[in-house]
Amino acid sequence: MILLKLFFAFIQVGLFSVGGGYAAIPLIQEQIVNIYGLMTLEEFSDLITVAEMTPGPISINSATFVGMRLAGVPGVLICSIGCIIPSFCICLILAHFYYKYRSVNGVQVVLGAMRPAVVALIASAGASILVLGLFQTELKEVVLSNIRVVELGIFAVALFLLRKFKMNAITIILGSGVVGTIIYTLMGAV
């Protein structure tokens, strides 16, 4: 039964995650955490963090990690296939029509109109992850007094290094992990 739930969840993610992997994160969260209740928000956040750090598309990485966590190797296969099949079919169909009608002005207008929606989906995913990282709760339950100061500091420094010095994102991710581990180890030793 869980394999069927996972397959239908990731079929929907594959069908409606317009804009790439980051746009899929809120859809995966909705299916796995909110609708089916197969994971807690904290477990999902941890899996997304790992999926972002590993090479490859984040939607497939997320499907792989969710599948492995919930149903082992069969879950990996079901989630990955469910995530890939809709996109594969849609891309084949769209590529055919795009190459046939790409010079039509209306096609460019439609593509231009979709961009703001894609940006909104990506911003929503980023805001959800940021709030979860800083408050360990969902956006609707944020209380400023519950802010996690260590995570806020790491976020601020990482954002500064990325924007000011254009540092490599992998270096920032690994450095943040090391700094967080050291800080929490020292805090636990005190």
Angstrom distance (rounded) from CA 85 to CA 74: 16
Task: Say if residue 77's pLDDT is above 90.
Answer: yes
Q: Is residue 96 part of a domain?
A: yes
Q: Is residue 173 part of a domain?
A: no
Q: Is residue 85 part of a domain?
A: yes
Cα 29 from chain centroid (whole Å): 8
The amino acid sitting at 135 is F
Least confident interval from 18-32, 73-87, 106-120, 144-158: 18-32
Q: Is residue 103 part of a domain?
A: yes
pLDDT at 131: 87
Q: What crossing angle do the helices spanning 169-189 and 149-165 adopt, rounded to 10°?
A: 150
The amino acid sitting at 139 is L
Owner of token pair 């849609």: 90
In this predicted model, what pLDDT tens digit does every residue of 12-31 receive, in sequence order?
A: 988 887 766 777 888 888 99
Q: Is residue 174 part of a domain?
A: no
Predicted TM-score of the model (pTM):
0.59
> Given pLDDT bands bounded at 50, 70 and 90, which one contains residue 81?
very high
Report the domain count for the chain. Answer: 1
Q: Is residue 177 part of a domain?
A: no
Secondary-structure percent of the chain, ordered helix, strand, coil, rounded to 5: 85, 0, 15
> Given pLDDT bands bounded at 50, 70 and 90, which one contains residue 171?
very high
Task: Say if residue 179's pLDDT is above 90.
Answer: yes
Q: Is residue 158 part of a domain?
A: no
Q: Do the beta carbons of residue 33 and residue 68 sit within 8 Å? A: no
Q: Is residue 13 part of a domain?
A: yes
Distance (Å) of CA 138 to CA 99, 132, 186: 42, 6, 28
In this predicted model, what pLDDT tens digit does every residue of 27-66 receive, in sequence order?
A: 888 999 999 899 998 898 888 888 888 888 888 898 999 9
Q: Do the beta carbons of residue 128 and residue 28 sit within 8 Å? A: no
Buried b (16+ CB within 10 A) or exposed e, 39-48: bebeebbebb
The parent domain of residue 131 ranges over: 2-147
CA atoms 113, 118, 121, 126: torsion sign = negative
